[in-house]
Every structure is written in C-alpha cells, then in structure tokens.
C-alpha cells in the first residue's frame, strides 16, 4: 500500500519503518480503507522526518486538560469518546447530528506528514491520518452564501480538569474561511503514526491546518457550522491583539511578546540550534494564493 508520502520517508527511521508500514496496512485493511496518494504539488510532499510517537503524545497543548505540556498526557484518558457525534449546522443542505462513521465512513483515509508549528515557537513533524475536510463539507452540502466554517470542541466538565479551572472560555472554538477549509491540505485527522489518534492529541477527530499556527487545529470536534460571518475563535476572544483570526505561520510578523522568525524543534535536544520558520510553514506554494492582495501584517 505504497503512497507518495511514505515513499519519501527515506530517512524516517525514528520508528522502524517496516513495523510502521505493517501496522498501517493492518489498520487500513481492517477498516477497509486504503491510503491513496494525494494529488498535491511536489513541494508539499518533500521528505520530512517525523518526531517519535512518544514526543507527539507527551508534549501537548490541550487546555481542557491543563496548561502544562505534560498535563494532557496525564489527564486526557478521562475524555469519553464513546458514541461520538458531530452536530453539523448552519448553511448546509443536510444538517443534523452525525455519528462519526456517518460523517467520514467510506472516505479515503490518507497519511499526511506535516510540519506542525505552534504559536509558542516550537515545532514538530507529525504523521497524521485523516480525510480532507473538503470531502466532509461536500458530503453535508455547503449552501451558496456560506463563507466560513466554525468548529467546536466537546466539553465534559466532569472529565476535563482545565474546564473546571476556566483558563479559557470553553467550549474551545475555531474557524476557517471557506476557501481555507476547502484547500486540499486541510484535513480532519483520526490517526497518528498509523494508530487511532490519542486522546491528548484530539481523539476521535481533530482539525489539522498545517500552514497556520497550531491553535487553529482544534481538537475533539463535536460541532461544525457553516456561516456567512467570521466566527469567534477562542484565542482571539481571549486576547485579540496577540491572536488573530488568520494566524498563518509567518516569520516576518512577530507575536507582540516574542519573535516568530525561528522555532525550537521538539526532540532536537536542549542545545540544538533553532531552525528558521518558513513562510506559511513551508506550504507557501499551495496556499499563498488564498491571501493575494491581503496585508498579512494587518490580517495576522
């Protein structure tokens, strides 16, 4: 079950490659889904060395489970992911409460190895599995006039220690412009490293928008709403000066309190040199056209 993403992983021996590929095939086979090459431009498919599964699942931001990087790994086991359903509403032809399988069943699950850049200036490379958000939106039928997609994370106060502490206004909410949501790079991830996505990483389904700061990639989604107005987003509501709606990775626009020109690579070791941050996190060729004519310092 070769695809272009895995073929490129010539140096990706963090997890022994044979074991990883086998596991992927078993998982893909058991649910009857194949990993099929994405029709993406070549520079989105360059070889990237993923972080280890351990790094990806033990250094997280998921404020519903606490603000420390290791809090989600400690606390997220309490998240109840059974009987998951997603409420789809707003400007769609087929609104309703969808069981996860109704929403994504039968869709092509692909592996996407993406750079992941947090607004806090750290980064990882993560091998996700998921479906294109565009496929989901096409399934529910986007009505003409819709311009934005709003997302909402589950709230389980009894299971989420951070919700009890009210560090943010929960539920965590996020949004994309419709053309950003429809871009083939935008996925809804259900797996990591060929395994179902861990709870601390946003089980059972989370958004991944690789050219935007990580906080746009909202976890454990229970709501998707199509609107004609820019929806509120959690970090923008908490601090509009520091966190804009767009939040595209941009080394030339600093956060008011720190530079965004470089990033610390998780797993690189304490004394590793920082690496330069890339425009649109390295996905400029695929997405720069979305922002033609916009002042990226103004629409940050």
**Closer to ligand MTE at the Cβ: 75 or 153?**
153
Give the nearest residue (CB) to ligand MTE. Answer: 214
| Segment contacting ligand MTE by CB under 6 A, of 36-44, 61-69, 141-149, 236-244 | 61-69
| String of DSSP letters for 220-258 | SEEEEEEESSPPP-HHHHH-TTT--SS-B--TTS-BTTB
**Closer to ligand MTE at the Cβ: 142 or 281?**
281
Window 189-228: residues binding ligand MTE (CB under 6 A) = 201-202, 214-215, 217-219
Q: By CB neighbour count within 10 A (0-12 exposed, 13-18 middle, 19+ buried), where does 160 fall?
A: buried
Instruction: List beta partners, residue 189.
Output: 130, 206
CA 96 to CA 35: how far, in whole Å? 28
**Closer to ligand MTE at the Cβ: 117 or 139?**
117
Q: How would you label 168-204 residue by residue, b for 16+ Cβ within 10 Å and e otherwise?
A: bebbbbbbbbbebbbbbbbbbbbbbbbeebbbbbbbb
**Closer to ligand MTE at the Cβ: 129 or 219?**
219
Binding flag, residue 15, ligand MTE (CB under 6 A):
no
**Dihedral sign from CA coordinates of 149, 284, 250, 212:** positive
Of the candidate residues 15, 51, 61, 75, the single one contacting ligand MTE (CB under 6 A): 61
Binding flag, residue 60, ligand MTE (CB under 6 A):
yes
Q: CB 86: neighbour CB atoms within 10 A?
A: 24
The size of the interface with ligand MTE (CB under 6 A), counted in residues, is 15
**Closer to ligand MTE at the Cβ: 201 or 277?**
201
Q: Are 57 and 203 in contact (CB under 8 A)?
A: no
CA 226 to CA 146: how far, in whole Å? 6
Binding flag, residue 236, ligand MTE (CB under 6 A):
no
| Segment contacting ligand MTE by CB under 6 A, of 11-19, 60-68, 252-260, 280-288 | 60-68
Binding flag, residue 62, ligand MTE (CB under 6 A):
yes
Helix (H), strand (E) at residue 30: helix 17-30
Least distance from ligand MTE to the Cβ atom of residue 267, Å:
12
Window 114-153: residues binding ligand MTE (CB under 6 A) = 118, 153
CA 114 to CA 256: how far, in whole Å? 26
* ∠ Cα 223 227 232 (to 5°): 70
CA 7 to CA 183: how far, in whole Å? 23
The contact mask relative to ligand MTE for 158-187 (x = CB under 6 A, - = no) is --------------x---------------
**Closer to ligand MTE at the Cβ: 139 or 206?**
206
**Closer to ligand MTE at the Cβ: 20 or 215?**
215
Binding flag, residue 64, ligand MTE (CB under 6 A):
yes
| String of DSSP letters for 212-223 | B-GGGS--SEEE
**Closer to ligand MTE at the Cβ: 61 or 186?**
61
Positions touching ligand MTE (CB under 6 A) are 60-64, 118, 153, 172, 201-202, 214-215, 217-219
């Amino acid at each position: 079950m070769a695809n272009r993403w895995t073929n490129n992983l010539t140096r990706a021996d963090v997890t022994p490659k044979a074991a990883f590929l086998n596991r992927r095939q078993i998982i893909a086979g058991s649910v009857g889904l194949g990993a099929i090459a994405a029709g993406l431009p070549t520079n989105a498919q360059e070889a990237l060395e993923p972080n280890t599964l351990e790094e990806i699942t033990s250094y997280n931001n998921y404020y519903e489970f606490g603000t420390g990087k290791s809090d989600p790994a400690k606390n997220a086991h309490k998240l109840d992911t059974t009987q998951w359903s997603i409420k789809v509403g707003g400007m769609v032809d087929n609104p309703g409460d969808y069981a996860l399988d109704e929403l994504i069943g039968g869709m092509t699950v692909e592996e996407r190895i993406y750079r992941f850049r947090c607004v806090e200036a750290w980064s990882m490379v993560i091998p996700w599995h998921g479906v294109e958000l565009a496929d989901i939106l096409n399934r529910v039928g986007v009505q003409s006039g819709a311009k934005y997609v709003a997302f909402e994370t589950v709230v389980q106060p009894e299971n989420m220690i951070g919700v009890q502490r009210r560090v943010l206004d929960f539920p965590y909410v996020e949004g994309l412009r419709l053309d950003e949501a429809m871009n083939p790079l935008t996925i809804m991830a259900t797996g990591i490293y060929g395994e179902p996505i861990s709870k601390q990483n946003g089980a059972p389904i989370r958004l991944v928008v690789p050219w935007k700061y990580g906080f746009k990639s909202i976890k454990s989604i229970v709501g998707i709403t199509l609107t004609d107005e820019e929806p509120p987003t959690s970090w923008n509501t908490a601090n509009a000066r520091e966190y804009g709606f767009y939040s595209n990775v941009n080394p030339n626009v600093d956060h008011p309190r720190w530079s965004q020109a470089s990033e610390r690579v998780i797993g690189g070791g304490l004394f590793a040199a920082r690496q330069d941050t890339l425009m649109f996190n390295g996905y400029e060729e695929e997405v720069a056209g979305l922002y033609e004519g916009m002042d990226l310092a103004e629409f940050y």
